[in-house]
Amino acid sequence: MVSENIRSAYAAILNEELVPALGCTEPIAVAYAAARAREILDRMPEGLRVRCSGNIVKNVKGVLVPNTGGLKGIAAAAVAGVVGGDASRRLQVLESLKPEQLPEVRRLLASGYCEVRLAEGVENLYIEAEAFAGSDRALVRIEGSHTNITRASRNGHPVEAAEGASSVSAEGTQKTVSARTSGGDAGTACHVEGGALAAGAGLLNIRDILEYARTADMGDVEKTLSDQIEMNRAISEEGLANPWGAQVGRTLLKTRGDDLRTRAAARPAAGSDARMSGCSLPVVINSGSGNQGMTVSLPVIEYARELGLPRDRLIRALALSNLVAIRQKVLIGKLSAYCGAVSAACGSGAGIAFLRGGGYREISDTIANTLGNVGGIVCDGAKPSCAAKIASAVEAAILAQDLAFEGRAFGDGEGLVSSDVERTIENVGTLGREGMRETDQVILRIMTSD
């Protein structure tokens, strides 16, 4: 049995990280910041100024903003948030945007109402929205996490952050924590916002995650994981039923048949097909990403259904898969040049191994085998091709757990793989956070050069 400290920390992390979001989380975070700025201003702004980090620019450029009738871009997301957004809904801020408000959104966009600038020398996840009317100014700054308001002010005077936002005050808090291996050695330092993840990140390790999934009472997280099952399956069904995006999920089933492995890859790909192209159905996210939320859950759900396993076993497998993904992302960071589909697929591969009765060795080898295979996929922004990256990563994770159950694993010193799974995860975390920093800048320069 895990300790009560670990049980409560893991439950808090899952409940904090696995929340519903409408649309790609980067444009939604922009809309949230702008909607909150309008609330603080307490009237319709005469104009907006939005400053964003390069990673926000990268992840907003190629996706449709939901409920806007096909609009793209930071300005579109911000103006939609001001015109019809409800900041109290956080990452579902644009659910309140009505069709009759869209002409006003388009009119304001055409008038140059919103000025957008690149913010340099800031967090990878950084958004600043300033709304103004007459001599009044309202400013909202988000850093580190999509709803983490680190500054909220009116005419330069701090005000309380939105109720339910990640920050605990108008100035917010951020912490540097040290993730630790199961052996207790200090691991790689990582920078995360305040809250359950900052408090519990140092407790995350594969051995305890497995024991938590095996033995802990799931009552504290069952509602969260049930929402992930229902919402993520719903958008996956939509992506398979209709021609969204590049139709990666539909193409997989059409060209490869509907065997279990194909369905496991097609379902999250189909959800991404719909989500990247403006589908208004919500998704339960992981590590700030709906694509990662679908990747970490839908393959596990498909395997549980095929194997005829009880719901409790599925809930436990999802607790494990989500925490394995979070264990990796807390080292990499929420936004980087490292594709999050890989860490999420590692989680789903581990969850599938758990469903099949695998123990610590099989789950650890599944993680290492996945990272040793597709650990180099780059993130060049949110867009329809994310669905294909998801499918590739899930297929690699399925191969990884098949190898693990045959007693085969990539060996110590083979590239980034170590004999200890925690060290392997930390190696990849260093690659994603530090080694790919320049890659991130090159990708951004290429994407903004046209």
CATH number at residue 293: 1.10.4100
Nearest to 217 by CA among 431, 434, 1: 1
Residue 36 sits in the same domain as residue 149: yes
Which distant-in-sequence residues (6+ apart) come within 8 Å of 349 by Cβ? 299, 366, 367, 370, 394, 397, 398, 400, 401
Question: 356 vs 101, 248, 300, 370, 403, CA distance in Å?
Answer: 50, 27, 11, 17, 13
Q: Is 169 within a domain?
A: no
Taking a C-beta distance cutoff of 8 angstroms, is the pair 236, 298 a contact? yes
Q: Is 163 within a domain?
A: no
Strands 47-52 and 126-133: antiparallel
What domain range is 296 assigned to?
4-20+177-447
Q: Is 166 within a domain?
A: no
Q: Is 165 within a domain?
A: no
Residue 376: the pLDDT is 82
Residue 439: the pLDDT is 85
Tens-digit pLDDT profile for residues 111-143: 999 999 989 888 889 999 999 999 999 999 999
Question: 424 vs 202, 229, 369, 416, CA distance in Å?
Answer: 16, 29, 10, 6
Among 158, 193, 212, identify where a domain stops: 158
Residue 130 sits in the same domain as residue 228: no
Residue 389 sits in the same domain as residue 421: yes
Q: How far is residue 350's CA from residue 210's CA, in Å, rounded to a whole number? A: 9
Residue 188 sits in the same domain as residue 146: no
Residue 102: the pLDDT is 95
Q: How far is residue 286's CA from residue 418's CA, in Å, rounded to a whole number? A: 26
CATH, residue 120: 3.30.1330
For the chain, the residue count is: 450
Q: Is 10 within a domain?
A: yes
Residue 216 sits in the same domain as residue 345: yes
Among 158, 187, 211, identify where a domain stops: 158
Q: Is 438 within a domain?
A: yes
Residue 268 sits in the same domain as residue 408: yes
Residue 311: the pLDDT is 96
Residue 375: the pLDDT is 86
Nearest to 22 by CA among 234, 319, 337, 210: 234
Only one residue has tokens 């610590």, namely 360
Give the helix/strand (H/E) hosting 316: helix 311-332
Alpha helices in 183-289, H assignment, sequence order: 196-200, 206-215, 222-241, 248-256, 260-276
Residue 8 sits in the same domain as residue 86: no
Q: How far is residue 106's CA from residue 80's CA, in Å, rounded to a whole number? A: 9
Residue 30: the pLDDT is 95
Ranges of residues in the chain with a pLDDT under 50 are: 163-193
Q: How far is residue 283's CA from residue 18's CA, in Å, rounded to a whole number? A: 9
Residue 352 sits in the same domain as residue 365: yes
Alpha helices in 356-420, H assignment, sequence order: 360-374, 386-405
Phi, psi of 150 (to 5 degrees): -100, -15
Tally of domains in the chain: 2
Only one residue has tokens 């702008």, namely 34
Question: 368 vs 145, 333, 345, 398, 412, CA distance in Å?
Answer: 27, 19, 12, 12, 10
Residue 11 sits in the same domain as residue 107: no
Q: How far is residue 432's CA from residue 300's CA, in Å, rounded to a whole number? A: 25
Which distant-in-sequence residues (6+ apart) come within 8 Å of 418 by Cβ? 368, 412, 424, 427
Among 128, 158, 188, identify where a domain stops: 158
Q: How far is residue 52's CA from residue 76's CA, in Å, rounded to a whole number? A: 14
Nearest to 330 by CA among 197, 205, 143: 197
Residue 13 sits in the same domain as residue 37: no
Nearest to 396 by CA among 362, 365, 373: 373
Only one residue has tokens 């936002």, namely 165
Residue 286 sits in the same domain as residue 430: yes
Residue 10 sits in the same domain as residue 40: no
Joined together, the tokens standing for residue 407 give 């007693």
